[in-house]
Amino acid sequence: SQQGEEDPQALSIQEGENATMNCSYKTSINNLQWYRQNSGRGLVHLILIRSNEREKHSGRLRVTLDTSKKSSSLLITASRAADTASYFCATATYSGNTPLVFGKGTRLSVIA
Amino acid sequence: DAMVIQNPRYQVTQFGKPVTLSCSQTLNHNVMYWYQQKSSQAPKLLFHYYDKDFNNEADTPDNFQSRRPNTSFCFLDIRSPGLGDAAMYLCATSRDRQFNEQFFGPGTRLTVL
What's the mean pLDDT in B25-30?
Answer: 95
Q: In sequence order, what are the residues at sequence separation of 6 or more whose Cβ sits closer than 8 angstroms to the Cβ of residue A16? A: A78, A79
Query: 3-state SS string over chain A?
Result: CCCCEEECCEEEEECCCCEEEEEECCCCEEEEEEEEECCCCCEEEEEEEECCCCEEEECCEEEEEECCCCEEEEEECCCCHHHCEEEEEEEEECCCCCCCEECCCEEEEEEC
pLDDT in tens, B30-68: 999 999 999 889 999 999 999 999 999 989 999 999 999
pLDDT in tens, chain A (112 residues): 456 788 899 999 999 999 999 999 998 899 999 999 999 889 999 999 999 999 999 999 999 999 999 999 999 999 999 999 999 999 988 766 778 889 999 999 999 9
Asked if the Cβ–Cβ distance from A41 to B101 is below 8 Å, we say no
Nearest CA in chain B to A104: B42
Distance separating alpha carbons of residues A33 and B1, to the nearest angstrom: 23
Distance from CA of A10 to the nearest CA of B (A): 10
- Give pLDDT, residue A67: 95
Question: Cα dihedral angle (B65, B30, A26, A37), rounded to 10 degrees?
Answer: -80
Q: Is B83 helix (H, G, I), strand (E, B) or coil?
A: helix
Distance separating alpha carbons of residues B15 and A63, to the nearest angstrom: 44
Q: Which one-letter DSSP state was computed for residue B59?
A: T
Distance separating alpha carbons of residues B44 and B20, to the nearest angstrom: 18
Asked if the Cβ–Cβ distance from A107 to B106 is below 8 Å, we say no
Residues in a beta bridge with A89: A34
In Å, what is the CA distance from A40 to each residue of A86, A107, B10, B106? 10, 13, 11, 8
Q: Is A99 on the interface with B (CB under 8 A)?
A: yes
Model confidence band, residue B1 (pLDDT cutoffs 50, 70, 90): low
Q: ∠ at Cα A71 (B35, B60), nearest 5°?
A: 20
Please name the member of A93, A97, A99 whose beta carbon is closest to the beta carbon of B45.
A99
Asked if the Cβ–Cβ distance from A97 to B55 is below 8 Å, we say yes
Q: Which amino acid is at A102?
A: F
Other CB atoms within a 10 A radius of the CB of residue B47 amount to 18
